Amino acid sequence: MKKAEIFINGDKLYEVPVIIDNMGGHSLDITNLRKDTGFITYDPGFGNTGSCRSSITYLDGEKGILQYRGYPIEDLVESCDFVEVAYLLVHGYLPNLVERRKYADMLNQHSLLHPQMRDFFKNYPDHSHPMSILAAMSVSLQSFYPEIDLAEDPEKQMDLNVTRLLSKMRTIAAFTYRKLIGMDFVNPNYKYSYCENFLNMMFSSPVKKYKANPVHAKALNKLLILHADHEQNCSTTAVRLIGSSEANLYAAVSAGICALWGPRHGGANQAVIEMLQQILESGESLEKIVERAKDKDDPFRLMGFGHRVYKTYDPRAKIARSMCDEVLADLGTSDPLLDLAVKLEEVALNDSYFIERNLYPNVDFYTGIIFRAMGIPTNMYTVMFALGRLPGWIAHYLEWNHDPYEKIGRPRQIYTGPQPKKVLPIDQRE
Ligand code: CMC
């Protein structure tokens, strides 16, 4: 076994075991560091910390590689649909025809919402953000579908919970949209595929016959696959952390939804479109926008740019960029926001600030343009991200639960507060 050594002022403090992962990556195993030496490590934002062992997703941010269970993301978007990829992430292998059909049947069987849950929607104000409804409904599922004893038949029971979540969250997402636009709900329908079903629940109209555009259904499949997992990101870490307390699956997923909502994470897809719209309306030059993004005294950042792990072009952004052309071509239209985004990317990628810091478009830079072309409103974009990320969250929750090394998540801190003090009687306090 390889070992590293830690020296303090020339004196050897500790020998650290080195773990080498399946792709040759090296890690220092500091599990016993504090116990053996009294030292802890400091790593704000966990940029350098491996919090778990995982066999779900492989990501090389320097080379722009993303693989789910060993399969390159580029192949998965071309050859599979979202249901197959969800199965892959959760079960660890791609389903065969029989397994695929059985899974689709289960997704259909569990797509309806409990009537009392349908009533919840009524009481949300019309200006609610859909992510707040999604998070609340997700954790509410636990009350209506309490988990069954996993000890009985763990595989079967977990399959049931997982398909329930995957299927009902799609219904919840569509109902949320209908509620916010003041239209009646449309129930899920067995005859449609996963994505067609979602589009049908979103856009069916009582006055005009609706049939999901196959180009949109295909694009939606691809987008959900692009979002399906991304190893230890903020929301997945939240899911694993909540799961580590042995909270139920629905609670952990709800935490993931809340973490995803923020504009530094999944909320960036909404923020990108809002930013592009503002630029278009203000008529500000792109050079000036980029100057603002570089100015440390200005809180403005270029949304959809930069990533903690990608130091090259995000492979998901590459795929999303080419999908924009396909979807717009099918509509026989163009989008001024796409033209603007392409120009903004060019200005930023030629700027030394962005070059030196390896800041490239991330997945959120172009996906909003595709959602927009499909008629999905801006405030629903992060919900779409959540629907895609759902199988990844579930896979990580299950992996954490089966991990022989698992422990409750409980980091240490560097204390910066006062030294111990005496409590003075209230009349003696300043
Ligand atoms: N615009 C301007 N400057 C930026 C940007 C940006 N979008 N992103 C990073 N930087 C600068 C940052 O100011 C810092 O500069 P300096 O070294 O001079 O202090 C440097 O680049 C490194 O950035 P960081 O904030 O230390 O990097 P991070 O890894 O902590 O943050 C990030 C990553 C994604 C939060 C950040 O790049 C960002 O805020 N981007 C915009 C929001 C966004 O698009 N988020 C979606 C991420 S992809 C979807 C997902 O998987 O969540």
Which residue, judged by its Cα, is nearest atom 20 of ligand 1? 357
Atom number in ligand 1 closest to CA 265: 52
Atom number in ligand 1 closest to CA 309: 29
Distance of alpha carbon 238 from alpha carbon 16, whole angstroms:
28
Please give the pLDDT value at position 70: 98
Domain 3-59 has CATH 2.20.28: yes
Name the maximum alpha-carbon separation found in the chain: 80
Question: What backbone phi and psi angles, to 5 degrees, belong to 167?
Answer: -80, -45
Q: Report yes or no: 245 and 405 within 8 Å, Cβ to Cβ.
A: no
Which residues, 6 or more positions from 299, have their beta carbon under 8 angstroms from its beta carbon?
Answer: none
364 is catalytic: yes
The Å distance, Cα 39 to ligand 1 centre, comes to 30
Cβ-based neighbour number of residue 363 at 10 Å: 26
Residue ranges of the chain with pLDDT lower than 70? 147-152, 154
Please give the pLDDT value at position 147: 65
The Å distance, Cα 308 to ligand 1 centre, comes to 7
The Å distance, Cα 303 to ligand 1 centre, comes to 9
Distance of alpha carbon 256 from alpha carbon 238, whole angstroms:
6
DSSP string, 124-166: S-TT--HHHHHHHHHHHHHHHSPPP-TTTSHHHHHHHHHHHHH
Helix (H, G, I), strand (E, B) or coil at 355: helix
Q: Which residues line ligand 1 (CB under 6 A)?
A: 45, 230, 233, 264-266, 268, 293, 301-308, 357, 359, 362-364
The Å distance, Cα 139 to ligand 1 centre, comes to 30
Please give the pLDDT value at position 345: 96
Please give the pLDDT value at position 402: 86
Which residue, judged by its Cα, is nearest atom 49 of ligand 1? 265
Tokens of 304: 């959809």
The Å distance, Cα 263 to ligand 1 centre, comes to 11
| Model pTM score | 0.96
Helix (H, G, I), strand (E, B) or coil at 66: strand
User: What is the average pLDDT value for the chain, to the nearest integer?
Assistant: 95
Q: Report yes or no: 89 and 392 within 8 Å, Cβ to Cβ.
A: yes
pLDDT in tens, 87-109: 999 999 999 999 999 999 999 99
Beta bridge partners of 72: 67
Give me the catalytic one of 307, 314, 351, 396.
307
Cβ-based neighbour number of residue 409 at 10 Å: 16
129 is catalytic: no
Q: Report yes or no: 201 and 175 within 8 Å, Cβ to Cβ.
A: yes
Beta bridge partners of 20: 26
Please give the pLDDT value at position 151: 59
Which residue, judged by its Cα, is nearest atom 31 of ligand 1? 308
Distance of alpha carbon 306 from alpha carbon 204, whole angstroms:
37
The Å distance, Cα 359 to ligand 1 centre, comes to 8
Which residue, judged by its Cα, is nearest atom 15 of ligand 1? 357
| Domain range annotation of the chain | 3-59
Which residue, judged by its Cα, is nearest atom 32 of ligand 1? 307
Atom number in ligand 1 closest to CA 362: 48
Give me the catalytic one of 216, 227, 364, 396.
364
